[in-house]
Amino acid sequence: MMQTLECESPDDVAVASANLIAARATEAIAARGQFTLALSGGSTPWIMLGKLAEQKLPWDRVKILQTDERAAADGDADRNLVHIVTELVDRVSLPAENLLAMPVVSDDLEQAAIQYEQSLIDLVGKPPVLDLVHLGLGGDGHTASLVPGDPVLNIVDRDVSSTGKYDGHRRMTLTYSIINRARHILWLITGEGKSDMLSRLIRADRDIPAGRVSQDQATVVADVAALSRQAQE
């Protein structure tokens, strides 16, 4: 059963999410000696990462991964990695080797996805089980780079894949297999524009990509605006 935490504002969502991640990190490090965190993009998540950077965690035990990334040059502002580094990595004592960035500058994006999957296996074993996967929700119901109509939605034997072009870029993304295997899934969703899709997500509507993500270990942290449709139902 998916849990839902309602917050007043996007800033409140960011703070609550950072606190939740820190709590999960503490639990994972105590239990297994490290915490693996896969991060998505988005404006509220960048605020959340700033709040997370204020948490007093043993950052040498934290491994930062990516849920998805645009195939663009290093340093391109469209890259999620740029914001992950600016808002979090550069502000904490994270060893350089603890950031596993998706290798999206490769000429062979599919081979690079295989390479990234192997790096996850090397990190946590096979099949790789991540401690926490952070997800967002697009206005079309996509999450990570699992977008409507892309063949990646049907991949069941791979944990990382390339995608077709979406919103101007090909992408690399975690697939449902590894997302649904995660110990915890954290959704950050803000704004009235997401209210319809959030309602469908909560109903596990499999007609949208986000609706196919497991709800057993999931928590939605959303603001009042995003939950407005749900409140009417």
Q: How far is CA 221 from CA 4, 24, 94, 96, 171, in A?
A: 6, 15, 26, 30, 26
- pTM of the predicted model, to two decimals? 0.96
pLDDT in tens, the chain (233 residues): 899 999 999 999 999 999 999 999 999 999 999 999 999 998 899 999 999 999 999 999 999 999 999 999 999 999 999 999 999 999 999 999 999 999 999 999 999 999 999 999 999 999 999 999 999 999 999 999 999 999 999 999 999 999 999 988 999 999 999 999 999 999 999 999 999 999 999 999 999 999 999 999 999 999 999 999 876 66
CATH code: domain of residue 97: 3.40.50.1360
Please tell me the predicted confidence (pLDDT) of residue 94. 96
Q: What angle do CA 220, 139, 9 make, to 5 degrees?
A: 45
Q: Give dist(CA 155, CA 157) in Å, integer.
A: 6
Residue 202: closest CA among 190, 224, 220: 220
* 204: three-class secondary structure by DSSP: coil
| Cβ neighbours around 91 below 10 Å, total | 15
What region, left, alpha or beta, does residue 42 occupy, with left being phi > 0 and alpha being psi -120 to 50 degrees? left
Q: How far is CA 193 from CA 43, 74, 141, 196, in A?
A: 14, 31, 11, 7
Please tell me the predicted confidence (pLDDT) of residue 203. 95
Q: Give dist(CA 187, CA 39) in Å, integer.
A: 11
Please tell me the predicted confidence (pLDDT) of residue 233. 61
Strand stretches in the chain, DSSP E: 3-7, 35-39, 62-66, 68-70, 132-135, 160-162, 171-174, 184-189, 218-223
**DSSP tally for the chain: helices H, then strands E:** 7, 9
Q: What angle do CA 155, 159, 165 make, to 5 degrees?
A: 60
Please tell me the predicted confidence (pLDDT) of residue 42. 87
Q: Give dist(CA 84, CA 88) in Å, integer.
A: 6
Q: Which domain holds residue 157?
A: 3-232
Domain count, the chain: 1
